[in-house]
Structure 1
Amino acid sequence: MTVADQTMSAINDAVVLGRQGDPAAARQQLNALWDSIGAGGDPLHRVSLAHFLADLQDHAADALTWDIRALDAADSLTDERAQAHHADLSVRGFYPSLHLNLADNYRRLGAFDTARRHLDAAHARLDALDEDGYGLGVRTGLANVEAALSERSTDRLPSHPTP
């Protein structure tokens, strides 16, 4: 197993831990991994870790910090690097979800115009997603955030539950 694979495995293990009901331990493991990877580390590691760590935050401002880091890392990621991890990955396919999460964070913080811009950016890239479970999940998330935004709601959505 390569170092990159070990890092992605460690990220996945922490994500599973969080999804199994221990978000505090998952945050701790992901924060420790972030410290070892660093802000200039492998973009695939950074985008994956930051994207998942954002979901484990209690406050939208903290989630926003991590989602911005994920978007920044995606901007540095190449298809070649992503496909070295998994042949089906395309960097373009990361952006709808990244922008969806940013839109939701900005909406929860009451920055509705900025949330709208990120929703528009997500919609502009939806053609990068297949009509599979992942694509459906992103599309459903967009519809949920759209509805909340139209109501000018800052409430946490069920699709983004409390950690």
Structure 2
Amino acid sequence: MTTAPATPDPVMEAIGRAVAQGRTGDPAAARRTLLDLWSAIGVTGDPLHRCTLAHHLADLYDDPAQALAWDVRALDAADALTEQRLRTHHEGLRLAGFHPSLHLNLADLYRRLGSFDAATAHLTEARRHVSALPGDAYGTLVRTVIGEVAEAIARRDTARRASAPGAGA
């Protein structure tokens, strides 16, 4: 989205800085920063903060079991998030657009762990919500990865996808 957030949010800004740090080659420092933020937010803190942080923190783990724990937290937080809270952060965001990616991440991680029934269930949920995705590059990316994960599940392939977040980091 190209529009600015509706209101400044220091926690979201700190999460964004940590994510950028992880993408520029220091995932360990990014993990430490995000874990410190998680401690400050708490497990009952703002669902937007918890969802965003957990979603990005999962991408910083190579171990699929560790990543899975954070992606489960992200989905749980999304389920507690309201449209009103989301729009106070950014008017252009819609909660329905979160679910395809969150379920896709879970499908991919369950697949990597060899839990193909759970992977298939989350892939089905990702597909069920795919109509909420925008018709932009992000929406195209998620739709493409849904296909990649479906093919990997069909092959019973547990290898990390080359296009997975953090791959090669």
Name the TM-score, length of structure 2 as normaliser. 0.93
Partner amino acid for 2:28?
A
Which residue of the partner structure matches residue 97 of structure 2? 93
Which residue, out of 130, 153, 160, partners 1:126?
Answer: 130
**Could you tell me how far apart the structure 1 residues matched to 2:168 and 2:142 are?**
18
**Could you tell me how far apart the structure 1 residues matched to 2:146 and 2:27 are?**
24
Percentage identity across aligned positions? 54
- 2:68·2:109 contact (CA, 8 Å) conserved in 1? yes
For structure 2, the residue ranges without an aligned partner over 5 or more in a row are 1-5
Q: Kindly report which structure 2 residues correspond to 1:1-163, keeping only aligned pairs within 5 A, or say none.
A: 5-160=9-164, 161-163=167-169
**Could you tell me how far apart the structure 2 residues matched to 1:158 and 1:4 are?**
35
How far the C-alpha of 1:162 sits from its partner, in A, is 4.1
**Could you tell me how far apart the structure 1 residues matched to 2:84 and 2:39 are?**
25
SS in 2 for 1:155: coil
Q: Could you list the per-position Cα deviations for residues 73-107 of structure 1 after superposition, in whole angstroms to 9, with x for gaps in the alignment?
A: 00000011011111011111100000000000000
Segments of 4+ moved more than 6 angstroms: none
**Could you tell me how far apart the structure 2 residues matched to 1:154 and 1:162 are?**
16
**Could you tell me how far apart the structure 1 residues matched to 2:20 and 2:129 are?**
28
Partner amino acid for 2:27?
P
SS in 2 for 1:130: coil
For structure 1, the residue ranges without an aligned partner over 5 or more in a row are none
Count of matched residue pairs: 162
How far the C-alpha of 1:3 sits from its partner, in A, is 9.5
Name the TM-score, length of structure 1 as normaliser. 0.96
State the Cα RMSD in Å: 1.4
- 1:58·1:162 contact (CA, 8 Å) conserved in 2? no
Q: Could you list the per-position Cα deviations for residues 2-43 of structure 1 after superposition, in whole angstroms to 9, with x for gaps in the alignment?
A: 997100000000000011111001101000000000100000
